[in-house]
């Protein structure tokens, strides 16, 4: 309480306010956020997010390329199997034609071949067949 005879000293109030200001500034400085650290963490997080997006995009592209390559590989393998089957069928057909012509030719030769003499038992026996003669030579 102030008495009527007391003088007011303004310096005390100013000093008190100044000291309070220093205390408040110190307290705020101790508890204030570190905006530099916060900014650094934000930039690092944004860069990591961008890198993760690029990696995901690369993984999708790689999977697409791999899928396309496997599909092409399957198509080529199927075409190869088909070609093998066609070649085998062609070879079988050629072999059948060759066998047929050989049979016809063999039958034709057999028709002109002299018969060997047989015994009374039906088996081939000694004959006077000359193996050195030429049946195909005509004069």
Q: 108 or 81, which is more confident?
A: 81
Domain that holds residue 61: 36-93
pTM here is 0.40
* Radius of gyration of the chain from its Cα atoms, rounded to whole angstroms: 57
d(CA 2, CA 113): 160
Q: What pLDDT score was predicted for residue 98? A: 77
In a domain, 103, yes or no: no
In a domain, 18, yes or no: no
In a domain, 57, yes or no: yes
Q: What pLDDT score was predicted for residue 119? A: 53
In a domain, 41, yes or no: yes
Query: Which residues neighbour 24 within 8 Å (Cβ) at sequence distance 6 or greater?
Result: none
Q: What pLDDT score was predicted for residue 4? A: 55
pLDDT tens, residue by residue, 86-131:
888 887 877 877 777 777 766 666 656 655 555 555 555 555 555 5
Helix (H) or strand (E) holding 115: none
pLDDT tens, residue by residue, 47-77:
999 999 999 999 999 999 999 999 999 999 9
| Residue 1 predicted with pLDDT over 80 | no
- Residue matched to tokens 């057999």: 110
Total domains, the chain: 1
Give Dmax over CA atoms of the chain in angstroms. 178
In a domain, 69, yes or no: yes
Which pLDDT band holds residue 12 (cuts at 50, 70, 90)? low
In a domain, 61, yes or no: yes
DSSP assignment string, 72-121:
HHHHHHHHHHHHHHHHHHHHHHHHHHHHHHHHHHHHHHHHHSPPPPB-TT
In a domain, 105, yes or no: no
Contact 125, 117 (CB under 8 A): yes
pLDDT tens, residue by residue, 14-45:
777 777 777 778 888 888 888 889 999 999 99
């Amino acid at each position: 309480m102030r008495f009527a005879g007391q003088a007011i000293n303004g310096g005390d109030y100013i000093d008190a306010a100044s000291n309070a200001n220093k205390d408040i500034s110190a307290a705020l400085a101790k508890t204030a956020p570190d905006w530099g650290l916060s900014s650094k963490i934000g930039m690092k997080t944004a860069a990591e997010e961008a890198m993760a997006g690029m990696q995901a995009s690369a993984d999708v592209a790689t999977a697409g390329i791999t899928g396309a390559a496997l599909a092409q590989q399957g198509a080529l393998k199927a075409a190869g199997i088909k070609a093998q089957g066609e070649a085998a069928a062609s070879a079988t057909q050629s072999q059948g034609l060759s066998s047929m012509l050989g049979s016809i030719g063999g039958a034709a030769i057999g028709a002109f071949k002299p018969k060997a003499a047989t015994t009374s038992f039906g088996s081939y026996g000694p004959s006077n067949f000359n193996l050195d003669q030429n049946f195909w030579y005509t004069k």
